A and B are shown apart, each in its own frame.
Chain A
């Protein structure tokens, strides 16, 4: 059946149709027939792989799956990656957005290197770096096949393994003289590196036909041509212009910064990776976000007693002013200004950003948390929310009755229920009893905690109850003050954090793994230190991650931290950057005192109550920006709090478990 697919370009036709459908405003004249020129006449597909995806954002719902192909034409080898049409269950990404990432036949003469990543958890992915220094977004091989991909390339192109890094393959192909010309062009920085840009592909075709090829055209030469065109003309005639505007709007300054950084690093160091270098961070006074990395010296970090921070020796100073200064909390009036007359949040992005930088005032939390926790939709009206609350209340009571109606005789024959109940009862009396809301004997709020947790363990019977859940619920009930609503907000949070509590601990392991990767790129000396001291399992951060720092801060600081994390502004995984930030703040002590695993664990546990939240958040923000796409690529898809990738088999291994 694959035989047929060799010649079946239906996916490309789909793609074409999708362009026409999705971007009617664009000037497009090409027919689908013309566009198949991305697979030139007389070409042969030598490799193809389905379900190769890119992750443009941290959101699982925004991942784009597609087909990767290697196409041989004459002596040249090309690579294409075309997203599937309408493959995304969640339509947060328009077809147009998807097409921005399409890689249309890029010649290997333009490719400098391919870096292979094989995380212990999650999928293998590759990063393709162009001679220009730009790189495509990481391509995740959901069905495997990286080795085969590299092997196939080797058959057609002179591919050599980098001496410095066994995972880097350098393309050594100078057959195409055009390549020289292209690389000598000064390429405009603003071009998205995640976008397919390949003038040489269409070698022999006129620039105008390149234009007609739609989105692929925001290609390098066109962008530079734009600069010579009149404004008017760009607006009306040049799709490339529209695209670059979109790209700039779509991707925050942060991402652009990350791209610039990445491309610059790749350009300067070829296959080098951020972690291998010592960079100096230069603070740009115009914009606190704009931090430029420039290499200073390459030193052996082992020569100094404590290897200095690779990001900046001045990090300690810089970090204090680095992330945006934080603001006061969002109050009632300001909150009201985000709502239209019927209660819809008009600009949820702006709202999240506002909360990210300042949190929410006490009294307003009750209003806003249900949105942050994805219980209420931002575009819902007052009336719709009221209705939802009412129906959900009935639903909650129904689920609650499932265990409420269990009589003692039945309970006697229902071991799982009894054990769950007793475990929950033991935990709620050990949860935040020093907070007045939960203190004292026979506190009704403690009973509500129990009821919600027990009800949840019936609502999600497979996951059941696990220690740590009471820590996550307590602040939610404290803020929401309504049993049913607190339940649904908690259930919604558990959609994201559920895997933290799986029997095999896969959610935690994925996060600890990602954390180790982040430290590797953001502080390689510290990473090396951990490696040498048997600390790479990062178990000392286990508590931080399992319950989102709940035990590390005072109660009201936890509320602030959580609402900041839940905005998912900058990254769904900001909490991992918070981990890096805290570790970095103490790097000198950790390495200077030669802490071993035990000492480190103790040290970390004892930091509880002594972490400066504001400063840490600013550091985390800066680190997140700094890591950019390299950082995002460290985090395997589906890592909590990302939504799980597949709904089925989320909790597969619970059969033999008691609770």
Chain B
């Protein structure tokens, strides 16, 4: 087991401009939030070593630009993805409505071998804003949509406060791992998915 090459898990973060993709990625990888991130131009990725059970993996997290106009670049970046994270801003209706477009666009451009079962994870971000008073998309509505798309795991997060970010990404990593087909990986029955913060999510059925 230990001698096996460290596996790379490729994750793509998609969602409308400004929903907090870059912030989420940086919060997860560097555990910090800055008000000074620039709008993403093109694409970039960060990597983080993750341990799932006894094994180490390299999580490669791709952050792309959110404006629709840049979608044509996706082909080059989506290829070979193991999991796709769809992010919306709970305070912006449109960003939620667009999740469907992002999902479909991804499936077209990445053309995974088994689109029906390709792992997605949805994040409703910026729940901290205005103490939740400016929220326009309810958790119930978001979960309903996730359920209708084949039980996509759902998390509510705040990149700013670091809330639920770790838990979300652990779920993301596990789902990405599930997508790696030919590797016969031994998975034990129980997995530590970040404990206490789980209650805010529909959970990760790994």
Contacts and interface: CB of A to CB of B under 8 A. Distances in A.
Interface string B81-94: 00000000000101
B172 to A, nearest CB: 18
Contact of A551 (B41, B45, B67): B41
A542 B75 CA distance: 14
Interface in A522-567: 537, 539, 542-543, 546-547, 551
A433 B67 contact: no
A649 to B, nearest CB: 18
Given A423-B67, A539-B42, A542-B41, A434 B36 contact: yes
A507 B65 CA distance: 17
A659 B94 contact: no
B190 to A, nearest CB: 33
Given A467-B17, A551-B38, A658 B44 contact: no
A429 to B, nearest CB: 8
Interface residues of B, number: 25
B36 A546 contact: no
Contacts of B70: 467, 505
A598 B44 contact: no
A200 interface: no
Nearest to B66: A467
Contacts of B73: 505, 539, 542
B133 interface: no
Contact of A468 (B37, B41, B44): B41
Contacts of B77: 539
A426 interface: yes
B67 A466 contact: yes
Interface string B14-40: 000110000000000000000111110
A427 B39 contact: yes
A249 interface: no
Given A505-B72, A657-B69, A542 B42 contact: yes
Nearest to A546: B41
Interface string A229-270: 000000000000000000000000000000000000000000
A601 B44 contact: yes
Contact of A430 (B38, B60, B68): B38
Given A433-B36, A539-B76, A598 B41 contact: no
A546 B73 CA distance: 13
A5 to B, nearest CB: 42
A598 B60 contact: yes
A321 B36 CA distance: 39
B187 interface: no
B43 interface: yes
A316 interface: no
A504 B72 contact: yes
A15 interface: no
Given A419-B94, A505-B73, A598-B60, A543 B36 contact: no
B129 to A, nearest CB: 13
A503 B69 contact: yes
A605 interface: yes
Interface in A591-613: 597-598, 601-602, 605
A658 B41 contact: no
B142 to A, nearest CB: 20
B69 A430 contact: no
A470 B43 CA distance: 18
B152 to A, nearest CB: 24
A501 interface: yes
Interface string A571-600: 000000000000000000000000001100
A419 B16 CA distance: 11
Contact of A467 (B35, B41, B43, B76): B41
Interface string A484-515: 00000000000000000111110000000000
A470 B67 CA distance: 14
A543 B40 CA distance: 9
26 contacts: A422-B18, A422-B92, A423-B67, A426-B17, A426-B18, A431-B38, A433-B35, A467-B17, A467-B41, A467-B65, A467-B70, A471-B41, A502-B69, A505-B69, A505-B73, A537-B76, A539-B43, A539-B73, A542-B41, A543-B41, A597-B76, A598-B60, A605-B44, A658-B68, A659-B67, A659-B68
Given A466-B69, A543-B41, A597-B76, 14 more contacts: A423-B18, A427-B18, A430-B36, A430-B39, A433-B36, A467-B70, A501-B69, A502-B69, A504-B72, A505-B69, A537-B76, A539-B43, A551-B41, A605-B44
Interface of B: 17-18, 35-39, 41-45, 60, 65-70, 72-73, 76-77, 92, 94
